[in-house]
């Protein structure tokens, strides 16, 4: 006679335990989770890069991409951790920059007579439009002499192959538990090292990474933010599931209550 009541109590206790576990570990934001994937992809792409013994490297985006600024943050961090000074190539990085002046533009053109900012190998993309000074030093690095920049500093070009955020699957941990959402963050990057003078391809590498987790539906507002470097994730309507699941839960609870009062009588 007491079995239905025991089942109800056990089910309620399990749900309460699941809710407490979710609140104890707040999930990472979408940007943080995408950052993990991007960092892993960058580290994988740089494996085997012949950077030892080089004091500096110049980085430049191979094409225009809304996520260039995001990937560049992790690329600069990875290069600095290897003891390199990092020079910005002034390519099409979609990030705020210092307004250009006529004097700066003339100076930039003089520093790169070979057209290093726009010359690309034919198999890696179209020439990038230079919108700022030819050479600028990223904060925390040290400038080099113009002759050194032209002759000894190699260029590390990078291209974003994939940078995406998505909500996938989801469900409920228990029959009457809170709804959950699966997140999938993917990053893929291609890189190559070019000789600073001849633009000869010295090395090519690539990296791919994926980060996945499951969060409670109630945390969706906390993990979302604006300013994404790619298309924001969209949560599907779920089709008939959003109507069927509440109906099933209601039927189960009603059945347990009915069994409880039937056994009592």
- Note the pLDDT of residue 123: 45
Question: For residue 244, which phi and psi values (nearest 5 degrees)?
Answer: -70, -45
- Note the pLDDT of residue 254: 74
State mean pLDDT over 147-159: 77
- Element holding 59 (H helix, E strand): strand 56-61
| Structure tokens that stand for 27 in this block | 């999930």
Work out whether the CA dihedral 208, 210, 211, 216 comes out positive or negative: positive
CA 233 to chain centre: 12
In 152-240, which residue ranges form alpha helices assigned H by DSSP?
220-223
Q: How many CA atoms lie within 13 A of 150 on its CB side?
A: 11
Torsion of CA 258, 261, 263, 265, to 10 degrees: -130
- Note the pLDDT of residue 194: 96
Q: How many CB atoms lie within 10 A of CB 6?
A: 9
Find which of 119-123, 205-209, 257-261 is predicted with most confidence, using mean pLDDT. Answer: 205-209
Q: Among residues 225, 212, 210, which one has the least CA distance to residue 168?
A: 212
| Residue predicted with more confidence, 4 or 192 | 192
pLDDT above 60: residue 218: yes
Say if CB 211 and CB 36 are below 8 A apart.
Answer: yes
∠ Cα 92 230 94 (to 5°): 20
Burial of 56 (0-12, 13-18, 19+ CB in 10 A): buried
Least confident of 50-64, 68-82, 154-168, 238-252: 238-252
The model's pTM: 0.63
pLDDT above 60: residue 132: no
């Amino acid at each position: 006679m007491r079995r239905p009541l025991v089942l109800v109590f056990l089910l309620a206790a399990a749900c309460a335990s699941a809710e407490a576990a979710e609140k104890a570990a707040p999930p990472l934001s979408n940007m943080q989770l995408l950052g993990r994937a991007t960092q892993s992809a960058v580290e994988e792409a740089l494996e085997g890069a012949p950077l030892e013994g080089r004091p500096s490297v110049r980085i430049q985006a191979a094409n225009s991409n809304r996520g260039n600024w995001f990937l560049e943050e992790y690329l600069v961090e990875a290069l600095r951790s290897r003891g390199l000074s990092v020079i910005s190539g002034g390519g099409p990085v979609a990030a705020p920059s210092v307004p250009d002046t006529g004097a700066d533009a003339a100076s930039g053109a003089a520093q790169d007579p070979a057209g290093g900012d726009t010359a690309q190998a034919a198999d890696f993309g179209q020439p990038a439009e230079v919108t700022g000074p030819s050479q600028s030093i990223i904060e925390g690095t040290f400038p080099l002499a113009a002759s050194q920049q032209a002759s000894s500093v190699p260029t590390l070009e990078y291209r974003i192959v994939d940078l995406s955020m998505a909500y996938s699957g989801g469900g409920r941990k228990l029959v009457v538990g809170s709804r959950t959402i699966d997140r999938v963050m993917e990053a893929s990057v291609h890189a190559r090292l070019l000789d600073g003078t001849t633009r000869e391809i010295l090395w090519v590498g690539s990296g791919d990474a994926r980060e996945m987790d499951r969060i409670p539906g109630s945390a969706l507002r906390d993990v979302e933010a604006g300013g994404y470097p790619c298309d924001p994730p969209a949560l599907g309507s779920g089709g008939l599931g959003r109507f069927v699941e509440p109906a099933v839960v209601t039927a189960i609870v009603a059945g347990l209550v009915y069994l409880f009062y039937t056994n009592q009588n």
